Structure 1
Amino acid sequence: MTSNGTLAAKASTVATGRGERNRALVYTGTIGVTTVALAGLMGWLTRSLGGGAVLAWWAGLLAVPVTSRIAQQAVHTVLQAILPDAAPLSDLDAQATEAAVARTCLVYPVIVHDEQDVEDLLTTMRDSRRDAGSGFVAHVALVDFADGNSPTHPGDEKLSRLIEERIRVAHDCAPGPPMFALFRARKWNSADGVWMGWERKRGKIVEFVRVVNGSQDTTFLANRTATAALRGVRFVITLDVCSRLCPGSARQLVATIAHPDNCPVVDRETGQVVSGFTFLRPLIASRRARTLFAWATRAKQRSAKITVMQQLFGRDHFFGQGIFEITAFAATLNDSLPENAVLNHDKIEGMYARAAYESRAMIIEDSPEDYLASRLRDHRWARGDIHLVPWLLAGPKSTLRRLPLLDRYRVLDDAVGHLLPPVSLALLACGWLALPGARAGLFAAVVVLVPLLAGHVLFRPILAIARPFRRRFISAPTTELVGHPFLRDHYRHVRHKTLAELASLPTGILLMADRAVTLTDAVVRAGYRTVASHRGILQWTAARTQTRQLRDGVWVRYRTMRASCVLSLVLAGVIWSVNPSALPFAAPLLMLWLVAPLAVYYSAKPTVRIPFTTR
């Protein structure tokens, strides 16, 4: 018989779930209605500028991805203005934190190609070991060797010996928790026809959890010293190579996730986390200062979304670096994803097992300085997000676990976000080909500038005015707000951030065509692999490896970005033959896109660094 306490807990869970569904319905419905209204406005504008009914309908449909992002920014602006600031998650006191730290280890998943990868790995482990402090169980490198056409390669033994030797030297040079390396054997991947580490990073984490729980059914090669030391581990902090935890951040993550209010509770019947969090992610900032073309738009968009998600729904996204709880992970995620199906597994795992944002901890990571490396990274991100689209259609009879409404919206939003440059380019082409003269130029200005300026010129000033008065109006009289240090700091921060983002707008315009080509290729390629071929889904190369493989030279940039240059020339020819009156208004953008590779080349020489700031 079920106890009264259990019944009460289940009733509370049901009520909480119903409340979240209602909030998600209002949230997504508001964004949807605003999206349709703005798309209709785009159709009306097209009609007003002289376009036909067919062109107006097409413009409205193509504008949906763009207007959805503007609608989301508008809804987030309103929510951030009216919602109270979210209180930080509960955390343990110092004594209880030390007890939890004694059951925590740090792991570093990595694919090793050469000796430089070994150097990067050891640098990350040394820095993190120093910054995390003492008391942790161990720092463990989870090592895969590069893909190959056989189970073993002649260079594997040399690299494994080098890693073990460097770890031994680093361990002897400075006191601290032990350091180990766990190597995985390659496994045959029939879908791709290659020997590789099973399921990439996801496989390493899943098998590491099995090792901690005492299982020997893994592809890790035997390391009795490491496996014995890992017995009893409850929490695992994952850190990518070339990232580092700020001092005190590791302990803050442990103190937060180990608090009883945040401990995950798994429903034995459904296998779902009904309260608490399996994952916590810290603030992730860039170690490198921005060059002219360092592409930070995606991270900026995420930051606002993350704040709203945490405030409105009490949970957040997970992007692969942070801390997780072993028991809840094993109970909910061990067999939750099919093989050879997901590249961005971190997102879907965070949705299944609940994740939260810990703003008091921070990871600093490297980001590509060269635009070409950033381009490859964006291509990989887009492919990974498109692989998650089948979860939108998962029903009761599907082999995929069904996601709640909020998470399905997040999957859809991430996928649609990659369509922004392609549909913007398509809208430009429609205007140039169908609208006469100066009207085509006006239409192009709206298409290019409105989505880029909406957040900086309209929504940010609204927040700049609303949030300080919402926070201080009740606790302080209005007259005391004038000249208050809080307001001075707030408006200075808003001004600096707005000016910095406005300065990046020319870069967005310059690279629009190349990003449209890159993301179109990623979306089409990922869609074909997901639906038809089922091959190459786990294709992945680390950003640091891609950066090393890039060759220097302006012609290398032109060869890599040639598709956007050819597209610009083709567009110019078609406009000249179909609607020559619009060519003078299209020419400035087309010329910019033709010289983009040259600008990218010179922007990378030299690298301009600015001081790092957490603000």
Structure 2
Amino acid sequence: EEIIISEHHTLSSGNVTTGNIIRGLRLINDVDWTVWFEGVSRIDTLLREKTDFAALDFFSRDQYRTAIEELARRSELSEFRVAEKAIELAGHVLIADASGAEVPQAEAPDTDATVHTDVGFFLVGPRRLELEKAIGYRPTISVTVKRAFSATGWLGVVVPVFALTVLLLALAGNALDHLGLALPSIVLMLALFAVPASEGALAFFNTVVSLFLKPTRLVGYDYKHGVPAEARTLVVVPSLIGSRDDVEENIRNIEVHHLANSAGEIHFALLSDWPDSKTEIDAADIEILQFARDEIARLNARYPTEGAPLFYVLHRRRLYNAAQGCWMGWERKRGKLHELNLLLRGDSDTTYLPLDVPLPE
């Protein structure tokens, strides 16, 4: 009887232990360890208190943390001190005020210059070298080589590809010469082989470079609740409108873009030109433009908002192009975007026609 009781106790104890293990594994699986880590990390706490770190998306926050780890690993400072130094540099950059005097960023007015002193510019941006110098960072040989290669610009691509192409042509020419071909035949064969050789050299170069240089991810904000008012965005669709079908197609595209990005302060605009013409304007042009404006008004009526409308049509008048011998939109698509930037910055000297409704500020 004692043996039976002991066996029952053993089985009961084993069942309880197994149940606790399973519940523990479920708890571990249910915990969001990313949130937990960011909650207990001193570096995360510091960055959240002093910068807009909390507004970034997870991949950008992780990019900052990785940069701090790399910098601390090759310097005499701890990760926490590296983060403090980056914040210190970002807050004490000298900026010229309206009078021309230089003042710290913290005391400077809210100007475009202050945008470039965010802590990210020192951790993962173009001012990282300043932070490295401040903390005594010692780059590895591989980092030094990669930076030297990146500094060569387009020459770092053209020269190796050209050298590889010449090498392939030389090898091919040598092989053809050993076959006993005449010089004119060799030259002809090499001329035909030049394009495939250059493409092969470029493909090989891209493959090798991609093994050592990884693409840089742009820092992004986490707008999971929608784009806020301070980050109001205008999505534009450049287009030529020469018929009602063109207008309807563009209106459908804009509506689809809106339905896919309906949260927050996102506005949409059709940047339109008339097709090239022998005349500056005619009745058909006016009719098509009015149709586009009516369609935009219909979209705004379908998706009403309390503030500024969601949809706009920005149309440009034609200018005479002597080289083309016709009336056309200035610089076509590039000109539309360039003049849009001017318009958004308050410049009224553009070829855009007056708007029925002003753009949101």
Question: TM-score scaled to structure 1, two decimals?
Answer: 0.33
2:199 corresponds, among 69, 74, 79, to 69
How far has the Cα of 1:171 moved from its partner? 2.4
Give matches, 1:125-204, under 5 Å. Answer: 125-175=254-304, 178-204=310-336
Kept after mapping to 2: 8 A contact 1:143/1:183: yes
How far has the Cα of 1:99 moved from its partner? 2.8
1:36 corresponds, among 148, 166, 191, to 166
Which amino acid is the alignment partner of residue 217 of structure 1?
D
CA distances 1:170-207 after superposition (whole Å, capped 9, x unpaired):
22223566111111111000111100111100111111
Between the aligned partners of 1:178 and 1:29, the Cα distance in structure 2 is 49
Give matches, 1:397-436, under 5 Å. Answer: none
3-state SS in 2 of match to 1:195: strand
Partner of 1:205 in structure 2? Answer: 337
Between the aligned partners of 1:148 and 1:84, the Cα distance in structure 2 is 49
Between the aligned partners of 1:41 and 1:19, the Cα distance in structure 2 is 27
Are residues 1:79 and 2:209 paired?
yes
Between the aligned partners of 2:102 and 2:354, the Cα distance in structure 1 is 44
2:346 corresponds, among 191, 214, 219, to 214
Kept after mapping to 1: 8 A contact 2:169/2:194: yes
1:94/1:224 CA distance change after superposition, 3 Å: same
Greater gyration radius: 2
1:22/1:170 CA distance change after superposition, 3 Å: closer
How far has the Cα of 1:12 moved from its partner? 4.3
Between the aligned partners of 1:210 and 1:18, the Cα distance in structure 2 is 37
Which amino acid is the alignment partner of residue 111 of structure 1?
L
Kept after mapping to 2: 8 A contact 1:102/1:135: no
Between the aligned partners of 1:104 and 1:119, the Cα distance in structure 2 is 23
CA distances 1:144-186 after superposition (whole Å, capped 9, x unpaired):
0111111112201110111111122222223566111111111
How far has the Cα of 1:93 moved from its partner? 3.0
1:50/1:123 CA distance change after superposition, 3 Å: farther
Give matches, 1:180-579, under 5 Å. Answer: 180-227=312-359, 229=360, 231=361
Between the aligned partners of 1:65 and 1:4, the Cα distance in structure 2 is 56
Which amino acid is the alignment partner of residue 276 of structure 2?
D
2:188 corresponds, among 43, 48, 58, to 58
3-state SS in 2 of match to 1:147: coil
3-state SS in 2 of match to 1:88: coil
How far has the Cα of 1:34 moved from its partner? 1.2
Which amino acid is the alignment partner of residue 185 of structure 1?
R
Are residues 1:124 and 2:256 paired?
no
Between the aligned partners of 1:24 and 1:218, the Cα distance in structure 2 is 34
How far has the Cα of 1:213 moved from its partner? 0.7
Partner of 2:140 in structure 1? Answer: none
- Equivalent residue pairs, number: 226
Kept after mapping to 1: 8 A contact 2:274/2:328: yes
Kept after mapping to 2: 8 A contact 1:180/1:226: no
Between the aligned partners of 2:350 and 2:294, the Cα distance in structure 1 is 24
CA distances 1:554-605 after superposition (whole Å, capped 9, x unpaired):
xxxxxxxxxxxxxxxxxxxxxxxxxxxxxxxxxxxxxxxxxxxxxxxxxxxx
How far has the Cα of 1:102 moved from its partner? 4.0
2:150 corresponds, among 3, 20, 23, to 20
CA distances 1:187-240 after superposition (whole Å, capped 9, x unpaired):
00011110011110011111111111111101111115134x2x3xxxxxxxxx
Kept after mapping to 1: 8 A contact 2:276/2:329: yes
CA distances 1:429-471 after superposition (whole Å, capped 9, x unpaired):
xxxxxxxxxxxxxxxxxxxxxxxxxxxxxxxxxxxxxxxxxxx
Partner of 2:222 in structure 1? Answer: 93
Between the aligned partners of 2:346 and 2:322, the Cα distance in structure 1 is 28
CA RMSD of aligned residues (A): 3.4
3-state SS in 2 of match to 1:226: coil
3-state SS in 1 of match to 2:260: helix
1:4/1:20 CA distance change after superposition, 3 Å: farther
1:48/1:2 CA distance change after superposition, 3 Å: farther
How far has the Cα of 1:84 moved from its partner? 6.7
Between the aligned partners of 2:334 and 2:235, the Cα distance in structure 1 is 16
Kept after mapping to 1: 8 A contact 2:317/2:352: yes
1:36/1:101 CA distance change after superposition, 3 Å: farther
3-state SS in 2 of match to 1:163: helix
Which amino acid is the alignment partner of residue 131 of structure 1?
A
3-state SS in 1 of match to 2:312: strand
Which amino acid is the alignment partner of residue 73 of structure 1?
A
Between the aligned partners of 2:263 and 2:104, the Cα distance in structure 1 is 44
Partner of 2:244 in structure 1? Answer: 115
1:71/1:4 CA distance change after superposition, 3 Å: farther
CA distances 1:325-365 after superposition (whole Å, capped 9, x unpaired):
xxxxxxxxxxxxxxxxxxxxxxxxxxxxxxxxxxxxxxxxx
3-state SS in 1 of match to 2:353: coil
Kept after mapping to 2: 8 A contact 1:113/1:146: yes
Kept after mapping to 1: 8 A contact 2:227/2:263: no
3-state SS in 1 of match to 2:280: coil
How far has the Cα of 1:66 moved from its partner? 2.1
Between the aligned partners of 1:91 and 1:34, the Cα distance in structure 2 is 38
Which amino acid is the alignment partner of residue 220 of structure 1?
Y
Between the aligned partners of 2:186 and 2:255, the Cα distance in structure 1 is 59
How far has the Cα of 1:109 moved from its partner? 0.8
Between the aligned partners of 1:10 and 1:102, the Cα distance in structure 2 is 24
1:25/1:112 CA distance change after superposition, 3 Å: closer
Which amino acid is the alignment partner of residue 350 of structure 2?
T
Between the aligned partners of 2:270 and 2:193, the Cα distance in structure 1 is 46
1:38/1:138 CA distance change after superposition, 3 Å: same
Between the aligned partners of 1:153 and 1:17, the Cα distance in structure 2 is 57
Unaligned runs of 5+ in 2: 1-100, 106-116, 131-143
CA distances 1:354-406 after superposition (whole Å, capped 9, x unpaired):
xxxxxxxxxxxxxxxxxxxxxxxxxxxxxxxxxxxxxxxxxxxxxxxxxxxxx
1:99/1:17 CA distance change after superposition, 3 Å: farther
3-state SS in 2 of match to 1:110: strand
